[in-house]
Amino acid sequence: MTQKLLDVQQLETEFRRDGGSVKAVAGVDFHINKGEVLGLVGESGCGKSVTSLSIMRLLKDTPGRIAGGSVLFDGKDLVRLSDKEMRQIRGNELAMIFQEPMTSLNPVLRIGRQLEEPIMLHLGYGRKKAREHAIDILRQVGIPRAEEVVNDYPHQLSGGMRQRVMIAMAMSCRPKLLIADEPTTALDVTIQAQILDLMKRLKEEREMSMLLITHDLGVVAEMCDRVVVMYAGRVVEEASVRDLFDNPQHPYTKGLIRSVPKLRRKVRRLESIQGNVPDLSQMPQGCKFAPRCEYATEQCFRQEPELLPAEGGSGRKSRCWLTQGEAAAEGGVRI
């Protein structure tokens, strides 16, 4: 029987601003099973990174805060843990690779020092043994001359090497769950492929679960078992990778897939989703995607649908009046 490692339930995250606050994450639900790779996709500004920072409890020094919900990780609710208890889990059982390694690595500390500190904290190693472990993990992620690289500063390494260092830091304590936030965005195509192959190999070797945050559907197709699609701080669709690409249910998901460039003999104009993600302080009434949706009906503009089971079974869910069986009758249109 499949066991849930992470279970996010009705997560709400808000940010303070002049005159009040806005919700960047509004009632998000999803889970990750042990050994599974879950993709979290959507346009910039949809709430993907804020969701990951909320799970990691890294909003303390920002205007953001978790306003509601729970994040159950291996039976513990991370939202209700003390800062001390969370520090014991973060970087140990739960680790994260950030989007831009140059801003995530400390520019004034050598690579070895940055690797050794979490190893000493979580594994209890002395400085010498931590240095040996750091060199070994750098070798495992494919960094040549690892015994020399530990003495380098981040600016002395290429983008691909820095990303490998970030992966080494995340993997150094053998986490149960790795959160990777756009891990290949700033890299060229060749290095992207190498990093993805590395992550896939480490995941299989260590039987680790992974939350992969990306806007690249090609990466999702290659790496993930299931996919959660977010829009305006909400989950709008959830499905297996095969089901999502073979038969997307939500109009937003259809638009994302149509927007992927395709190899054709004739060069045609790239398709796109018209409009922009709504301003968090000026959310439209009803379905948040309705102003951009070619299938929207009057009902869509009046009332926001819930995330409910959609046609196709196998755990499929969709937040759309037009995909929820009898609930779509008032709209009178099928996608």
Q: How many CB atoms lie within 10 A of CB 317?
A: 22
Spatial CA neighbour of 150 closest among 109, 184, 205, 120: 109
- Rounded to the nearest 10°, the torsion over CA 182, 184, 185, 191 is 180
Query: What one-character DSSP code corresponds to residue 44?
Result: T
Q: What integer is the mean pLDDT of 231-239? A: 96
Residue-wise pLDDT for 38-56, tens only, equals: 999 999 889 999 999 999 9
Buried b (16+ CB within 10 A) or exposed e, 176-211: bbbbbbbbbebbeeebbebbbebbeebbeeeebbbb
Report whether pLDDT(288) > 70: yes
Binned at pLDDT 50, 70 and 90, residue 264 comes out as: low
Average pLDDT, rounded, for the chain: 88
Binned at pLDDT 50, 70 and 90, residue 312 comes out as: low
Alpha helices in the chain (DSSP H): 48-56, 83-89, 101-104, 111-123, 127-140, 146-149, 159-171, 189-206, 217-223, 241-246, 251-258, 298-302
- Tell me the two tokens of residue 168: 């080494």
CB 211 within 8 A of CB 32: yes
Binned at pLDDT 50, 70 and 90, residue 100 comes out as: confident
- Tell me the two tokens of residue 248: 């997307």
73 vs 276, residue with greater confidence: 73
Domain 4-224 sits in CATH at: 3.40.50.300
Q: What integer is the mean pLDDT of 264-274? A: 72
Q: Where in the chain is the domain with CATH 3.40.50.300?
A: 4-224
Task: Decide: helix, strand or coil at residue 40.
Answer: strand
Q: What integer is the mean pLDDT of 243-247? A: 93
Binned at pLDDT 50, 70 and 90, residue 326 comes out as: very low
Task: Decide: helix, strand or coil at residue 161.
Answer: helix
Report the pLDDT value the prediction gives residue 202, as an integer from 0 to 100: 87
Q: Give phi and psi for 266, each to the nearest 5.
A: -95, 135
Residue-wise pLDDT for 116-170, tens only, equals: 998 998 889 999 999 999 999 999 888 999 999 999 999 999 888 898 898 899 8
33 vs 183, residue with greater confidence: 33
